[in-house]
Structure 1
Amino acid sequence: MSSPTPSVSLPAERVGPAFSVDGMLLARRKTREAIARIAERVVPGMVEEDAVAMAKQEMADMGLALSWHPTRVRFGRNTIKPMKLASEPGVVLGENDIFFLDIAPRVEAWEGDGGKTFTVGQHADYARCARDAEELFHQARQAWDRQQLSGRQLYDFADKTARAMGWELNFDLPGHRVSDFPHAAIHTGALAEFEQAPATMRWILEIHLRDPQHRFGAFFEDMLLEDEHYPL
């Protein structure tokens, strides 16, 4: 079954005058490229604040100097925190550690938004958490695509699946709209509260897993799209 088609009849899914499919896909591609480039430069011994500065410079070098939310790089114990909470300062990436990126570049008129978790060294639990965050993203996305789940049902599915995997799903990151800038002028509600089947290319699906003991976490987010757009 194909995904729900975009509907202008739902106020939460309206777009601005500059919206275009090609523009949104360009923003997504640039965002994923930036994530990969930034992650390659994150190394053990780096202080989190320096990694954030590096990420901003890397994005500027790519022509992505404008962002619509703060650029985040989170190391180790900071990976359990919701985005609205500041990181504990001075955290250094260890030899066997976990980190994630969360960036939101503006690409011309369009909003990009993406996140991914990476590991360095050898740590089986960190590696599994990073893999599971991305795997859960795709399981939830495919359930939406095939069953036309509402936003609330999508996150109910993600919550149950996360628990079966042995993790907690952080509902402080419940997904959100994306559009031509600024989407906040159109809709600021969460995907997890949306009672309709969300349309493609209108929403960001966020998955933030946390270790039940709250020692570490993993994050993955991307635009809610059909299978044909994966792998990027």
Structure 2
Amino acid sequence: MSKQLDEREYAGKAFAVEGMLEARRRTWLAIDDIAAAILPGMTEIDATQLTRKILKEHGLLQGWHAICIRFGCNTMLEYGPPSKPGVVLAVNDIFTLDIGPLWNGYEPYAGATFVVGSDPEMLRAKEHVKVLWDRVRHEWRKGDSNGVDLYEFAAAEANKLGWTFDSVMQGHRVGKFPHQYHGTLRSMDAIPMPNI
């Protein structure tokens, strides 16, 4: 039996799962190319300009939120606050990419953590971000957890891995136009729909 779409998740009549999946595929290909091109010695401004160029090469337009690239100490900041200026990617360093491009009317979203060099704690952080993502995704796919439950689960799993889950980030729906969804995933008392 299929679940009825919660009106808070309405994506518009033109939304198609296939379109969202293709937008996601293209976005992750671009992320791979962006990460491979970011090198020690670059500033976040350099990396942002490079990201715009690579997104354009992939047929992705600058999207529904600004490109957010953080190096080193700036990776601890939330999305909104400005980075400490002048931070240069070091030989052993960590960086994050956060993009929301546009493709064919869809607004995909991708974020990932990367490490240059061999710092073991940075490599552990990179690995655990993905482990945590996979655990929460698995929990969500069971189909019985609402947004509040998922955030509580994520916090508990982060703790098991030896990290503190960010208590400020609220999350958002990812779909055809996620910026039109009013409310946060963290406070959503409904079970989020697949592919939305």
Return the TM-score normalized by structure 2.
0.95
Determine if the alignment matches structure 1 residue 60 to structure 2 residue 60.
no
Task: Tell me the residue number matched to 1:152.
Answer: 148
Task: Tell me the residue number matched to 1:51.
Answer: 47
In the TM superposition, 1:153-192 aligns within 5 A as: 153-180=149-176, 182-185=177-180, 187-192=181-186
Runs of 4+ in 1 over 4 A off after TM superposition: none
Task: Tell me the residue number matched to 1:124.
Answer: 120
> Structure 1, residues 32-70: CA drift from partner, whole Å, max 9, x if none?
111101000011111111111111111012111231110
SS of residue matched to 2:95: strand
> Structure 1, residues 62-120: CA drift from partner, whole Å, max 9, x if none?
11123111011110000000001111111100110000101111111111100111101
> Structure 1, residues 136-163: CA drift from partner, whole Å, max 9, x if none?
0110111122262111101100001111
- Higher relative contact order structure (alpha carbons within 8 Å, sequence separation ≥ 6): 1
Check whether the contact 2:136–2:150 (CA below 8 A) recurs between aligned residues: yes
Unaligned runs of 5+ in 2: none
Determine if the alignment matches structure 1 residue 7 to structure 2 residue 22.
no
Task: Tell me the residue number matched to 1:142.
Answer: 138
Check whether the contact 1:67–1:105 (CA below 8 A) recurs between aligned residues: yes
SS of residue matched to 2:86: coil
Determine if the alignment matches structure 1 residue 38 to structure 2 residue 34.
yes
* Alignment partners' CA distance in 1, 2:57 and 2:144: 40
**Identical positions, percent:** 36
Unaligned runs of 5+ in 1: 203-232
SS of residue matched to 2:85: coil
Aligned-residue RMSD, C-alpha: 1.5
Determine if the alignment matches structure 1 residue 78 to structure 2 residue 68.
no
SS of residue matched to 2:23: helix
In the TM superposition, 1:16-27 aligns within 5 A as: 16-27=12-23
Matched AA of 1:183: P
* Alignment partners' CA distance in 2, 1:7 and 1:49: 44
Matched AA of 1:69: H
Return the TM-score normalized by structure 1.
0.80
> Structure 1, residues 140-187: CA drift from partner, whole Å, max 9, x if none?
11112226211110110000111121111113322211222x3333x2
Task: Tell me the residue number matched to 1:115.
Answer: 111
Matched AA of 2:173: R
SS of residue matched to 1:77: helix
* Alignment partners' CA distance in 2, 1:183 and 1:93: 31
Check whether the contact 1:6–1:13 (CA below 8 A) recurs between aligned residues: no
SS of residue matched to 1:66: strand
